[in-house]
Structure 1
Amino acid sequence: MVPKFHFQVIIIFLLSSWLCITSSLDTQIGADFDKWVSWNVKNYYYEKKSTLEAKRNLVAAGPDLKLRQAESNRIRIRVSQDGAGDFKTITEALNSVPLRNTRRVIVSIAPGVYREKIMIPRTLAFITLLGDGGDPPTITGNDTASFNGRDGTPLGTFQSATVAVDASYFVAINIKFENSAPHVIGRRGEQGVALRISGTKAAFYNCTFYGDQDTLYDHKGLHYFNNCSIQGSVDFIFGSGRSLYQNCYLNSTTKKVASITAQKRTNSSLESGFSFKNCTITGSGQVYLGRAWGDYSRVVFSYTYMDKIVLPKGWSDWGDQNRDSRVYYGEYKCSGPGANSPGRVPWARVLTDEEAEPFIGTQFIEGDTWLISP
């Protein structure tokens, strides 16, 4: 039998050894943890620096490689209803372009009214529709969301578009896009889209968009609108795109109360939103600048003239007060009787110079990497 005293000595010795080992392990684990934290911090800043450098290099390089190659090999085809061009319809001209197109195809369209429903698929990139600046051609249709398609089911808003573009690098110059379907207040299914743009890196110059409810479906992607006129009654600019509208005219035709925009940003990390710079808001009825289609809807108006049709509240949460703390609705140095109203909703923002800066240039749409001279 081990004497009691010796047993206690052994216990103390083992306990001391265990404490020493534990302390050493804790020290090592602590050191390893510190190294792990330090590595992550350094790695974060390294990645951040690398990302910034990559963006700087991309901007310095100018248009992306695909766009440069497409531009250097561009071709032109002509559409004229009198047979003086290569094709009589826009649809025929587009059908002549090979799928997986890699060169810029300029479709020059003679004046006239083209009653065509046009769909440009994803495989048909680098298409440019070019009209006559003095007498722009009109592409018109009258489909609505409630119209039945070929399969007998309603088209829905998405398929109601007179012109739908799924391809990237699309450009339109001096073109009128029209959906002539009227909107009767209180009726359902009367959304009639003049143009839906779902491709990215698309630009529109001196174009007109005529419609009533849901005129311009700014669906998704990076988009630029310059010196364009957009007309409608209800939500006539809507979607999830990240788009800059510069020197544009927004004309309301509503008879009662409606909204100009319905932007659908669905989460705070989504890089989407509408920015309006140097625009003009006129027309009839009373309008909100925007209503929140998405929980994190984002719209900014800067240097914009707002006629008296703009409601003092300015913005609508579409009946969901939870959106009040999530949306980003801002105004910056706007003018006119409808601007700078003390009656604005409390969750709208009057932007500072610093807050407005990201929205008032083509950097908002990464334009330095893809915008080219029309």
Structure 2
Amino acid sequence: MASLSHLQLSLLLLPLFNLPFVSSSWSTFERERDYSNWISWNLKNYQQRATRKVESLVEAPAGRIKALDGKLRRAEMNRVRIWVCQKGTGDFKTITEALNSIALYNKRRVILMIKPGVFREKISIPGTLPFVTLSGDASDPPTITGNDTASVSGSDGMPLGTFHSATVAVDANYFVAINMKFENTAPHEIGSPGGQGVALRISGTKAGFYNCSFYGTQDTLYDHKGLHYFNNCFFQGSVDFIFGYGRSLYESCYLNSIAKKVASVTAQKRTNASLASGFSFKDSVVTGSGRVYLGRAWGDYSRVVFSYTFLDKIVLPQGWSDWGDQKRDLGVYYGEYKCSGPGAANLTERVPWARMLTYEDAKPFIGTHYVEGDTWLVRP
């Protein structure tokens, strides 16, 4: 879709109070107006960032780091490393001990260099610990594992709930993970309540994940909120295994379903038309077992886009689910652009409210500008 003219935008934004109320036509007009405004807003942001022509990280001859926001630039210029090894040859034997050694409201990048091994720890990185990096060995990544579910009782005797079931919970900003495995081994039993078991919850903003793996069954990754970037990552689950409110770009990722029957890959929960959130998948793969929807509408305004992605035969012809609430058909924005594979071969059976995007529609979502990465993404 080409950029909207000032006249078109003016017409779209005309007051609607004097229009006669007819339920079906009103809903269609409102949906198209909102969609056009959304595309126009994203195109404007894309064009502004494209003209900057700056890389995420540029080193000046004197060693100064340009382009990054001020707090992050200072943190990167004052990096420190801590070694974690279960055998006792590092600074700490556990990840928890290493995190506890970091001063609150830390202002420098602290990189935990984690040796191979299986760490049976429930990790929490609070908002008072920004600029933390967990870095493993690419040839033998360390695993952080747990098996809590939403129905497990916490220290207060009450069920943990999905939010607190996470093996690793990150509330801090500027978090980075490199060559790590995050795991929740709790099995999913079809029809059993309280089986949600999160491997990692990311609630901080400006977080990057590189060459990481996320293993679980129901609700593997809680992409809760904030700006996030995932590159060359592996995700495994059965039901809604990537879910949340986040505004996130998944690039060159592998999404592996272990569903036994019908399930959904994503459940994006955008509940308000003004929220700038949504999941974008680029150059990725959707495969595995069972039959899956690419996404189902956890929120009334759920947004997910798949671009240049291989969709295997497990993808249902309908493509998307409104979670049984037809009212959501008017608010959700589910898009596909130049996807391939048997799951993308016949689009005639897609739900009528799915979008087959043009390049103009898709380009705001197929680069790191989508997550404002020019000011915070740091190459590992």
SS in 1 for 2:250: strand
Q: Which one-letter code corresponds to 1:370 in the other structure?
A: W
Instruction: State the match for 1:141 in structure 2.
Output: 146
Is 1:177 equivalent to 2:182 in the alignment?
A: yes
2: CA distance, partners of 1:355 / 1:257: 30
Q: Name 2:131's counterpart in structure 1.
A: 126
- After superposition, give the CA deviation of every residue in 1:99-157 in whole Å (9 maximum; x if it has no partner): 00000000000000000000000000000000000000000000000000000000000
Q: Quote the residue 1:249 is aligned against.
A: 254
Deviations 1:220-245 (A, max 9, x none): 00000000000000000000000000
* Secondary structure at 1:169 match in 2: coil
Alpha-carbon distance, 1:268 to partner: 1.4
Is residue 362 from structure 1 mapped to residue 360 from structure 2 by the alignment? no
TM-score where L is the length of structure 2: 0.83
- SS of the residue 2:315 aligns to: coil
Where relative contact order (Cα < 8 A, 6+ residues apart) is larger, the structure is 2
Q: Partner amino acid for 1:182?
A: P
1-structure distance, mates of 2:305, 2:50: 24
Give the match for residue 339 of structure 2.
Answer: 334
Q: Which amino acid aligns with 2:358?
A: T
Which structure would you say has the larger Rg? 1
Residue pair 2:281, 2:309 contacting (<8 A) in 1 also: yes
Match 1:353 to one of 359, 364, 371: 359
Give deviations 1:170-223, integer Å, cap 9, x for gaps. 000000000000000010000000000000000000000000000000000000
Equivalent residues in 2 for 1:46-85 (5 A)? Answer: 62-85=67-90
Q: Distance in 2 between matches of 1:168 and 1:108?
A: 19
Does residue 373 (structure 1) correspond to residue 379 (structure 2)? The answer is: yes
Matched-pair contact (CA < 8 Å) for 1:288–1:315? yes
Unaligned segments of structure 2, at least 5 residues? 1-43, 56-65
User: Match for 2:279 among 274, 279, 283?
Assistant: 274
Contact 1:58 1:369 in 2 (8 A): no
- In the alignment, what sits opposite 2:100? 95
How far apart in 1 are the matches of 2:184 and 2:52?
42
User: Helix, strand or coil: the match of 1:256?
Assistant: strand
The aligned counterpart of 1:189 is 194
Over the matched positions of the two proteins, sequence identity in percent amounts to 74
> Which runs of at least 4 in structure 1 moved beyond 4 Å after TM superposition?
52-61
Q: Specify the alignment match of 1:150 in structure 2.
A: 155
Q: TM-score, normalised by structure 1?
A: 0.85
Partner of 2:38: none
Structure-2 separation of matches of 1:322 and 1:109: 48
CA distance, structure 2, for counterparts of residue 258 and residue 339 of structure 1: 18
CA displacement at 1:373 relative to structure 2:
1.0
Gaps in structure 1 of 5+ consecutive residues: 1-48
Tell me the secondary structure at the aligned position of residue 204 of structure 2: coil
Q: Which has the higher helix share?
A: 1
Partner of 1:22: none
Backbone CA RMSD of aligned residues: 1.6
